[in-house]
Amino acid sequence: MNRTTFDYIVVGAGSAGCALANRLSENGRYTVLLIEAGPPDRSPWIHLPIGYGKTMFHRTLNWGLHTETEPGMDNRQLYWPRGRCLGGSSSINGLIYIRGQAADYDHWAALGNDGWAWKDVLPYFMRAEANIRGANSLHGADGPLRISDVGSRHELMEAIIAAGESLSIPRNDDFNGPSQEGIGYFQLTTHRGLRCSSATAYLKPARRRKNLHIITNAQVTRLEFSQGQTTGIRYRHLGQECRASVSREIILAAGAVHSPHLLELSGVGHSDRLRSLGIPVHHHLPGVGENLQDHLQVRLMYKVKKPITTNDDLRSLFGQARIGLQWLFKRSGPLAIGINQGGLFTRVLPESKTPDVQFHFGTISADQAGAKPHPWSGCTFSVCQLRPQSRGHIHLRSSNPLQAPAIQPNYLEDETDHRTIVGGLKLARKLARTEALSLLIGDEYRPGQDIETDDEWLGFARQYGATIFHPVGTCKMGQDKESVVDHRLRVHGVPGLRVADASIMPTLVSGNTNAPAIMIGEKAAEMILADAG
Ligand SMILES: Cc1cc2nc3c(=O)[nH]c(=O)nc-3n(C[C@H](O)[C@H](O)[C@H](O)COP(=O)(O)OP(=O)(O)OC[C@H]3O[C@@H](n4cnc5c(N)ncnc54)[C@H](O)[C@@H]3O)c2cc1C
């Protein structure tokens, strides 16, 4: 077996992992190994935003996971894509740039996590960001992550915004500005019509550094410990068993599914579970894999009365040529957007102090997110509850590191989640039926007019709901007995090991999770370097 020693080893080159690898190797003082299970990010479908539909079911760029049978979802097993290449899920995601609400992070701090209040995390969002609109008190312009506006205004999206205004929902030109509430266009992690993944942002400029070593197609199978210290990793690369040693720290950034899986494979987890699978217990930590939270999306689809949707563009050769030229000369249009152009944040529960639902608007429709568009003009209003109360878990099935873990999100288990999703769905239909949309929106394709009562809406959510791809919380940060890492992201009771990715969020943020995961990578790197003196 080959064995090499590094100061730091980062496991997983996703949203957080790429930021970590860049920042830890930046001063040239430390040797860093970044190790990624998937291939390099060479596929053009990664870089062209419309490639979302291709990578959604890609066999090598996507882990292509499924949940267990979900009792709250008509006993269905839901498809769970996760990115598996340089850039991780930021290489296959829907490109929407959202940070969440200040109250989300203030809540983390109130739970006892010093240094994670909004005022503390904002500088890391800004450090990461190169916003096309320039810098102000909430935005950065000099960071590696390029943020752009949706280049062109779409007739349907403009009408949707007018429809929202007719329901007293204010137009919002910046969901990451002073207030999240309102309706408008999203900003995207793109630059000149191409995806800006975490790998594009953070690895491209760092790849030539002599002290940064990147290995792809290498799946870490477990961590190694000696005399209580974390000493290295074992991984599979080109059919060979390999090892790498660490002199300072290992940082797990394998995401909300694989970071807890790797901990359990390495003997860190609930001792009963590990023993029952024949895994020697290194440290009893019962919270590993617990506290799973995810955003559930339920999509309403409408027929559109004019042939102005992306379904129409993609259907004909003329349409394809037109959007190809639009991308080539203006770097805008459907090829540059991916899937959703705009959104809405509002409150549907009387007790909510801040928005509790988010809508995603796509001028495209398909039976499943990312699947082949319908052969008619269509659009989608996707509704998701921002702060679900249901909790699930992810645990290993066996000691075989190549067997996917069992994912049990327990969607729609909690009664608050029922009320919120029903309220959101009813608002979506109300929006579609406004006067402002009467000239463009036609029949409701799904769910259809038969659905009227609250119970029927809930039944629809159970029958058709799907992940909107934001699992978090499985290596929760905190001090209670369910927490896995402390506020400096050190694994409780395991010296030399941290976790820094979406899994450390104690509660799900109110929005999409790529920017928050990158922020976590940025902040973790600074804490690690500070602790190194
Ligand atoms: C289809 C899809 C659409 C999404 N759309 C959006 C969106 O529009 N906006 C948004 O903000 N968020 C979106 N998200 C969510 C967002 O991208 C993720 O929350 C975020 O990327 C998570 O970052 P992470 O660093 O925690 O994990 P990831 O980015 O998933 O990175 C984990 C990395 O670790 C690697 N890895 C795992 N196990 C091992 C191992 N054993 N050995 C070596 N490497 C390993 C993985 O291959 C992966 O590269 C979407 C996600 C998906 C999947």
User: What is the reported pLDDT for 152?
Assistant: 82
Question: Mean of the pLDDT values across residues 307-315?
Answer: 94
Q: Are 69 and 77 in contact (CB under 8 A)?
A: yes
- Name residues whose C-beta falls within 8 Å of residue 477's C-beta, 6 or more positions apart in sequence: 108, 113, 116, 483, 484, 485, 486, 487, 489, 504, 505, 506
Q: Where are the alpha helices (DSSP H) in 370-437?
A: 415-432
Cβ of 93 below 6 Å from ligand 1: yes
User: What is the reported pLDDT for 370?
Assistant: 78
Cβ of 11 below 6 Å from ligand 1: yes
User: What is the reported pLDDT for 208?
Assistant: 94
Handedness of CA 197, 202, 205, 209 (dihedral sign): negative
Give residue 368's pLDDT band: very low, low, confident or very high (50, 70, 90).
Answer: confident
Residue among 294, 469, 509, 522 to mutate when testing ligand 1 (max atoms within 8 A of CB): 469
* Residue among 253, 218, 206, 242 at smallest CA distance from 4: 242
Tokens linked to 366: 């398909």
Cβ of 248 below 6 Å from ligand 1: no
Tokens linked to 459: 């039944």
Q: Is a pLDDT exceeding 50 seen at residue 139?
A: yes
Rg (CA), the chain: 22
For the chain, percent of residues with pLDDT exceeding 90: 96
In angstroms, the CA 253 to CA 246 distance is 16
Give residue 533's pLDDT band: very low, low, confident or very high (50, 70, 90).
Answer: confident
- For 425, half-sphere exposure in the C-beta direction (CA atoms, 13 angstrom radius) is 31
Q: Which CATH code for domain 151-185+296-385+412-464?
A: 3.30.410.40
Q: Are 261 and 405 in contact (CB under 8 A)?
A: yes
Cβ count near 95 (within 10 Å): 26
- For 416, half-sphere exposure in the C-beta direction (CA atoms, 13 angstrom radius) is 13
Q: Are 127 and 138 in contact (CB under 8 A)?
A: no
Cβ of 472 below 6 Å from ligand 1: no
User: What is the reported pLDDT for 1?
Assistant: 41
Cβ of 336 below 6 Å from ligand 1: no
In angstroms, the CA 477 to CA 473 distance is 8
Helix or strand holding residue 236 (H, E): strand 229-237
pLDDT digit string, tens, across residues 78-88: 999 999 999 99
In angstroms, the CA 496 to CA 529 distance is 13
Question: Mean of the pLDDT values across residues 297-307?
Answer: 98
Q: Is a pLDDT exceeding 60 seen at residue 2?
A: no
Question: Mean of the pLDDT values across residues 39-46?
Answer: 97
195 forms beta bridges with: 190
User: What is the reported pLDDT for 3?
Assistant: 55
Q: Between helices 454-464 and 415-432, what is the axis angle to 10°?
A: 100
* pTM, rounded to two decimals: 0.98
- Give the position, in ligand 1's atom list, of the atom nearest the Cα of 511: 11
Give the dihedral of Cα atoms 392, 397, 403, 405; nearest 10 deg. Answer: 10
pLDDT digit string, tens, across residues 189-214: 999 999 999 999 999 999 999 999 99
User: What is the reported pLDDT for 508?
Assistant: 98
Q: Which residues are catalytic?
A: 470
CATH 3.50.50.60 domain span(s) along the chain:
1-144+195-290+397-409+471-533
- Which protein residue's CA is at the shortest distance from atom 23 of ligand 1? 15
In angstroms, the CA 406 to CA 169 distance is 40
* Residue among 475, 24, 481, 6 at smallest CA distance from 254: 475
Q: Which CATH code for domain 1-144+195-290+397-409+471-533?
A: 3.50.50.60
pLDDT digit string, tens, across residues 433-450: 999 999 999 999 999 999
Cβ of 297 below 6 Å from ligand 1: no
485 forms beta bridges with: 477, 491
> Helix, strand, coil shares of the chain as percentages rounded to 5?
30, 25, 45
Long-range contact pairs involving 225-229 (C-beta distance under 8 Å, separation at least 24) = 225/266, 225/267, 225/282, 225/494, 228/495, 229/495, 229/496
* Residue among 467, 468, 489, 470 at smallest CA distance from 478: 489
CATH 3.30.410.40 domain span(s) along the chain:
151-185+296-385+412-464
Q: Is a pLDDT exceeding 80 seen at residue 384?
A: yes
In angstroms, the CA 274 to CA 266 distance is 9
Cβ of 501 below 6 Å from ligand 1: yes
How many whole angstroms from 398 Cα to the centroid of ligand 1?
23
Q: Is a pLDDT exceeding 60 seen at residue 234?
A: yes
User: What is the reported pLDDT for 160?
Assistant: 98
CA triplet 141, 197, 68: central angle to 5 degrees?
135
Q: Are 270 and 394 in contact (CB under 8 A)?
A: no
Residue among 90, 91, 221 to mutate when testing ligand 1 (max atoms within 8 A of CB): 90
- Which protein residue's CA is at the shortest distance from atom 4 of ligand 1? 93
